A and B are shown apart, each in its own frame.
Chain A
């Protein structure tokens, strides 16, 4: 390849990397933790232990109680069946107020049979998911913005491979530890990038589809398919067509009967939730969702039934998927890693953290390659980049560590904890950014890394304080979730502490011609 072409690709890689890097760091760091979303949903509760699931027999009484109290809920609600990670049988209904606002209700039946609207104890796991796909911005804006970030990410992958290709075999396993720090960072950046390339391609691709896939259908709808695209792909994407209510009352078939019919259609399906539309109407349908354990990438299955007669409208199981449905569900399954068990989840966690490292190291490399070896003052833009990288990346890390702490330490009241959690994250995140810009970069890096380390180190102790059970006893009792979170917190505390020390050492003893130096230059 000609050197001018190569230079173009280096410029593309630099610029898309710098623009997208910050959002990608947050998405990967939060996303890696989100891999264990279900387990964290158990961890975030007061007891942090799994409980015995409620009985399925509660489902019909729950629906009847909600419809009696809120008849307008019949247009659309979901019933979440109890699971290993969420023991309550919940009815989820989004109430639309006349002023356009939406109130989310989560109803459950108390042991005495009365209806209660449960406010979630904690929003930790939900907040991490939202952070993952919005980078902490308002949901709609953040989602579309991360869609655009995926495009830049795709370009960064292509240009990165093009730049790297000429020295592929020479450098593949090279990690040159030595005096040349830039070489070391470059080798680490290349190794992580190239060895996890398939994983990154899959994430750029599936994330683009998850964030703004529907938006990307617009140009096809108007330029190619003359407005008929949705009719063509509707059955491949959606489970059932929207139906209008008939306006004729029809009694509901009991949940247990509906589940039995669905199970006959897809034998072995583990049913997870039901989505009712126009319950109690002659045209009412219910979509029964579940998973089937078979050796396919995606195990999602769904059965659509009439709510009053149990008539089977549609059966959707992996063995009968159309190519489009298989492709779409396959990509989403690859994204979530829900096709596998513990081993796959841990691989995703490690690769996700490695991805976060890739973007962090990319920014540091940019700074390093613009270092002026003779100038007294380093250029201002590299200093800003250093401070921005520290503030945003370490702010996110410290914010998440603080979020975990607050979950255990804040006073738990109905709905109160969720507010504490969210505010704590944003407070720490923004404070870290401010701190990064008012301190010299090396000081800010050392102090922020120490903060991350200390916050992580405190987690096992706050768990001990809140739960009243010491970590060794938890391990003895086999409380896996608590023990694993504690161990990971200690591991991360150690890593951040080592990084903090390394930054300080470089500042005091390294090359003084650097934004990372703390030494006064001679003369």
Chain B
């Protein structure tokens, strides 16, 4: 239980930020769609934290959410560094 709780607390926020960030950056019109995406951050964050408690053990929660986090940030920074996605402002 403690492992799952820490996974929820420590990995929930960065993973939800990366998911919403990707969605906002990849949207067709960043200026129009960024704020709506930011506004759905809260339910997504709560959702990701809740998912942590679905795993069989704390170790599995850390493994899956941790990998998801690494993957999401790799894609995010990869897209930005390669110039495939640019920040509109």
A residues contacting B by CB (< 8 A) are 4-5, 8-9, 11-12, 150-151, 154-155, 157-159, 162, 201, 204-205, 208-209, 216-217, 219-220, 223-226, 228-229, 231-233, 236-237, 322-325, 327-328, 331
Q: Which of A11, A155, A224, A233 has the most CB of B within 10 A?
A: A224
Q: How far is the CB of B21 from chain A (nearest CB, A)?
A: 3
Q: Does B46 lie within 8 Å of A224, measured CB to CB?
A: no
Measured CB to CB, the nearest residue on chain A to B39 is A327
Measured CB to CB, the nearest residue on chain A to B30 is A232
**Known contacts A219-B13, A232-B87, A327-B35; A224 and B50 CB within 8 A of each other:** no
Tell me the bound Cα distance from A150 to B45 in angstroms: 12
Q: Does B25 lie within 8 Å of A232, measured CB to CB?
A: no
* Prevailing SS type, chain A contact patch: helix
Q: Which residues of B contact A205 (CB under 8 A)?
A: 42-43
Q: Does A8 lie within 8 Å of B25, measured CB to CB?
A: no
B48-69 interface code vs A (CB 8 A; 1 in, 0 out): 0110011010000000000000
Given contacts A158-B47, A225-B87, list 19 more A-B pairs with CB under 8 A.
Answer: A8-B1, A151-B46, A155-B49, A162-B50, A205-B42, A216-B41, A216-B42, A220-B17, A220-B24, A220-B41, A223-B18, A223-B21, A229-B89, A232-B30, A232-B31, A232-B34, A322-B35, A324-B39, A331-B39
B36 near A: Cβ within 8 Å? yes
Q: Which of A225, A328, A331 has the most CB of B within 10 A?
A: A225
Q: List 18 A-B contacts (CB under 8 A).
A: A11-B1, A154-B46, A157-B46, A201-B43, A224-B18, A224-B25, A225-B87, A228-B87, A229-B34, A232-B89, A236-B34, A322-B32, A323-B32, A323-B33, A324-B33, A324-B39, A325-B35, A328-B39
**Known contacts A159-B50, A219-B13, A224-B17; A327 and B36 CB within 8 A of each other:** yes
Q: Which residues of B contact A223 (CB under 8 A)?
A: 14, 17-18, 21, 73
B11 near A: Cβ within 8 Å? no
Q: Which residues of B contact A331 (CB under 8 A)?
A: 39
Q: How far is the CB of A144 from chain B (nearest CB, A)?
A: 15
Q: Does B4 lie within 8 Å of A8, measured CB to CB?
A: yes
Q: How far is the CB of B54 from chain A (nearest CB, A)?
A: 6
* Prevailing SS type, chain B contact patch: helix
Q: How far is the CB of A414 from chain B (nearest CB, A)?
A: 43
Which of B17, B20, B35 is the one whose CB lies under 8 Å from A328?
Answer: B35
B84 near A: Cβ within 8 Å? no
Q: Report the contact-size class of chain B (Cβ under 8 Å from the partner).
A: 35 or more
Q: Does A232 lie within 8 Å of B50, measured CB to CB?
A: no
Q: Which residues of B contact A220 (CB under 8 A)?
A: 17, 20-21, 24, 38, 41
Q: How far is the CB of B32 from chain A (nearest CB, A)?
A: 6
Tell me the bound Cα distance from A204 to B50 in angstroms: 15
Q: Which of A8, A11, A157, A162 has the most CB of B within 10 A?
A: A8
Measured CB to CB, the nearest residue on chain A to B73 is A223
Contact count A vs B, C-beta below 8 Å: 101
Q: Which residues of A contact B73 (CB under 8 A)?
A: 223
**Known contacts A11-B1, A322-B32; A217 and B42 CB within 8 A of each other:** no
Which of B31, B53, B87 is the one whose CB lies under 8 Å from A12?
Answer: B53
Measured CB to CB, the nearest residue on chain A to B20 is A220
Q: How far is the CB of B7 from chain A (nearest CB, A)?
A: 12
Measured CB to CB, the nearest residue on chain B to A231 is B89
Q: Does A8 lie within 8 Å of B39, measured CB to CB?
A: no
Q: Does A237 lie within 8 Å of B35, measured CB to CB?
A: yes
Q: How far is the CB of B22 from chain A (nearest CB, A)?
A: 8
Q: Which residues of B contact A209 (CB under 8 A)?
A: 39, 42
Q: Does B34 lie within 8 Å of A158, measured CB to CB?
A: no
Q: Does B35 lie within 8 Å of A158, measured CB to CB?
A: no
Q: How far is the CB of A228 from chain B (nearest CB, A)?
A: 4
Q: Which residues of A contact B53 (CB under 8 A)?
A: 5, 8-9, 12, 159
Tell me the bound Cα distance from A154 to B41 in angstroms: 12
Q: How far is the CB of B83 from chain A (nearest CB, A)?
A: 13
Tell me the bound Cα distance from A220 to B87 in angstroms: 12
Q: Which residues of B contact A224 (CB under 8 A)?
A: 17-18, 21, 24-25, 76
Tell me the bound Cα distance from A237 to B35 in angstroms: 8
Q: Which residues of B contact A150 (CB under 8 A)?
A: 42
Q: Does A4 lie within 8 Å of B56, measured CB to CB?
A: yes
Q: Which residues of A contact B35 (CB under 8 A)?
A: 233, 236-237, 322-325, 327-328
Q: Which of B24, B53, B80, B88 has the most CB of A within 10 A?
A: B53
**Known contacts A232-B87, A233-B34, A323-B33; A155 and B50 CB within 8 A of each other:** yes
Measured CB to CB, the nearest residue on chain A to B56 is A4
Q: Which residues of A contact B34 (CB under 8 A)?
A: 229, 232-233, 236, 324
